[in-house]
Amino acid sequence: MFHKEGYFIIITTFIICTAIVLSAEYFIGHKIAKVVVEIGILIALILVLQFFRNPTRNTVINDNHLLAPVDGKVVIIEEVFEKEYFKDQRLQVSIFMSPINVHVTRYPMSGKVNFSKYHPGKYLVAWHPKSSELNERTTIVVENEQFGEILYRQIAGAVARRIVNYAKVGDTAVQGEDAGFIKFGSRVDLFLPVGTDVNLVLDQVVRGGETVIAEK
C-alpha cells in the first residue's frame, strides 16, 4: 500500500524511468553500460516506492496511552521552554526519520484539535538544534482528558520540501489515524507536560501508531 501523497510522484517516476530504460535500449550500444543504467533506474524507482509506502499498523486505541506519531529514532528527551503555544516548560521528545523510514504522521492520541498552524522556513538538517524553530514546519495541538494538551510539530529536513498536514482546528483526532506526511527526510517533536513518564530512551527505534511512548 502506498500513501496518497505519493501517487503523482510514483506515476511520474515510473514514466520517467520507463522512458530512460527504453532510451538506453535504443541509444546505448555497450552492454555493460546499458545494464548499469538500467540497474540505477531500478534502484531509483525502488527508493521512491519504499519512501511512499504506507503499511497497515496494529494500533490499539487507548486514551491512557500516548503513541509515537512516526517511525524513526528518538534523538531528544529533555525539558525545554516551548514558546509558540504553551509559552512554558515542556518535556520535548524528538523522533528523527531518515529517508528510508515510513513518513506517515499519525495522531499520537485521540482528542480535539485545538491548534494547527503552518510555518514556512529553512531546510536545515533535521537534527540541527534550531530546525524546530527555523525550518518549514507545522504545529498541531491535540487535547484529551487524560493527557490534557499535547503538541506535536512536523519539521522538514535538508531534503524535505513539503509537509502535508491534515489536522484542522475543531477536528476530532483518532489515535493512530493518518494525520499527514512529510516528503523526503524529517523530524517530529512532541511537547508533553513536565513530569510525563515517558517509556523511551535515546536512540530507541519507534513505530508510528504502535510504540507507546507514555501512559497514564
For the chain, the structural domain boundaries read 4-51, 65-215
Known catalytic residues are 186
**Cα distance between residue 7 and residue 181, in whole Å:** 13
**Cα distance between residue 201 and residue 98, in whole Å:** 18
State whether residue 166 is helix, strand or coil. coil
Q: Are 75 and 94 in contact (CB under 8 A)?
A: yes
- For the entire predicted model, the pTM comes to 0.84
* pLDDT at res. 128: 54
* pLDDT at res. 129: 56
Q: Are 191 and 82 in contact (CB under 8 A)?
A: yes
Report the interhelical angle of 31-51 vs 7-27 (nearest 10°): 180
Residue 22 in grid coordinates: 527504453
* CATH number assigned to the domain covering 65-215: 2.70.70
Residues 6+ apart with CB under 8 A from 141: 85, 113, 114, 115, 116, 149, 150, 151
Per-residue pLDDT of the chain (216 residues; tens, 9 = 90+): 887 887 888 899 999 999 998 888 877 878 888 888 889 989 988 888 877 888 889 999 999 999 999 999 999 999 999 999 999 999 999 999 887 888 899 999 999 999 999 998 765 655 555 556 667 889 999 999 999 999 999 988 655 557 889 999 999 999 999 999 887 668 899 999 999 999 999 999 999 999 999 998
